A and B are shown apart, each in its own frame.
Chain A
Amino acid sequence: MQLVINTYGSYLQKNGDCFKVKTDEQIYEIACKKISSILISTAACISTDAIKMAMENNIDIIFIDNSGDPYGRVWHPKLGSTTLIRRRQLEIAEIDEGLNLALKWVRTKFNNQIGLLQRLKRTRPHKSAEITAYIGKLQDVMKGLNSLSGTISGCRGTIMGLEGSGGRIYFEILSSLMPDRFKFNGRSRNPAKDEFNTLLNYAYGVLYSRVEKACIIAGLDPYVGFIHTDHYNKKSLVFDLIENYRIWADEVVIGLFASRKVKVEHFDKIPNGLTLNKEGKAILLTDFNSFIDESIRYKGRNIKRSNIIQFDCHRIANQLIGDKDESRG
């Protein structure tokens, strides 16, 4: 399970093979074997012994800020795999192979969005016609991808444009499906202006850190992206890859609203927007973690959603170094 430290002033230390967390009220002891990662979302102390035990057991410690963006991570100083993967990653960014890979991810994103809308349509018969119309619009935008060829740098602008207009259509229909109190006006970040965006940003933040971890383990360089350009400290590949999985965050957040679990009290007002407070984070992360722990059918096998990210990253890495079995898929 994921250990989430959410109480201000907690102290994380090592005790035997256990992590010991002290708060003002209580002391908790959790065996290291039961923990897969540690998420720290508030002011806390950690002892170096605890960090050492985490590193030795492949547990990453992630620090997440108020809006859900991971601002730091403690991870062992190893590459994860062979540098050959990173060399090849740089090479294919220049040729059509890179474009095909990138296009595949964008298509997955569109298909995921359309799939989600179709699922939402089933449980909302009175909105059926409206949703169908928006699915049609999304499919039209997606057709724009078919005409692209050549290298990434030539059609990056077009891809980004199509992604943008797809996103606008998608979030417009999602807003219209929200309860009246929680309707929103497009995406907003830093800070989020409404409850939907606050939850979504936080969930995306958690997802980013998972994708980055999977990249590192598979030996992919998180900074060498295809659709997203190179920039100082920009995790372009993480931004590229996350498009495949954003749908999970979307689905969890929509589910929270649909089951009336979101309350106005879960949010704190900050200048120009909102943030999630302690209870809000707990509600979101509980649902998110159990959602990605569900097994689903994927590429011919039953696999937990949380392992799909790693599975995909390994596939990409194997493709890059020319494992023939993998490159067919």
Chain B
Amino acid sequence: MKALCYNGKYDLRVERVPDPEILNPRDAIIKVSKTAVCGSDLHLINGYIPTMKEGDIIGHEFMGEVVETGKGVTNLKKGDRVSVAATISCGHCNYCSTGSYSLCDNSNPNAFMPEKIMGDSPAAIFGYTHSFGGYAGGHAEYVRVPFADVGMFKVDERLTDEQAVFLGDAFPTGFMGADMAGIQPGDTVAVWGCGGVGQMAIQSAFLLGAERVIAIDREPSRLETARRVGRAETLDFSKVDVLEALREMTGGRGPDRCIDCVGLEAVDDSAQYYYDKAKQFLGLEIDRAIVLRQAIMACRKGGTVSILGVYAGFVDSVPMGAAMNKGLTFKMGQLHAQKYIPRLMEYVANGQADTSFLATHSLSLEEGMKGYDMFNKRTDDVMRVVFTP
């Protein structure tokens, strides 16, 4: 089959590799119909996260048709059109059985790797680093889905492929950010980053009862989408002082809930950015935490900072004094996709939410490198590129 393989920093190639096979009873094989790029793939491709190997098949957002199931998969069958959770979870450990699927004890075959620096291992993720399991990803004609009985969801007929493909990661991640934020009726929610996850966090905040959502980015097209699709108010951080603007817009209180959808590759033009960039270059810091710092400073007293953007290692100059004395709550984590997918599918099916607008560009798998290059450089107002293998 064809697969988009990582071959080193900023080097992706479509190669012919063997077809996947059922290896465990709870496996299924999916013929991929749509697979999308994700911001966290950029961290891999740009070389910020170690333990990738040449030849790894990337991609964690995909959907398709079931072509084969192991004998342990009885809830889905050949021919079913399914959306697949980006995180791989066993469904039965203590974490999975309490809904914290991305903390699964059992899905990462390389658990010893993250244990060394995190003290424990999170769940595996498709097409990510070997530290996150080393599973072959969805940018391919076929993919093996481990623990398919809990990770695959039959897609409602009312959903198009362009809608369903984002049920595996972008929507559940954005939704989890809003869910973790603990939004109360009347709350003002600030969302940093208006990529796919940020856009879905905006919609989710309203679904969960937010009165106002303020979205922050610097790409005019993304801000426009946040206004048009998400009904958010927007701030262009390259034009205004975000802290001052947020405070003015909220009657001096600050937003009640702050959602960081940016993570370790944050950019702006402040001295702090160049400081972080220099430290990253020297290997003294792994993550640029510009957004995290800003969210802490902006958040109202007693508010919540919800972190979805991926952080990989160490950050510095986090204003812990502000966080502590303002009595902030921090909530964070990788998505518990399996917990949210059925509920989100229903939102899309009955028109309460939409995901299809994220698919701004459709390319073939052969154009994989081109697609990621566009996505990385934000050319042609790209939101997400969707490949059809």
A and B: interacting chains: no
Interface, chain A (partner B; CB < 8 A): none
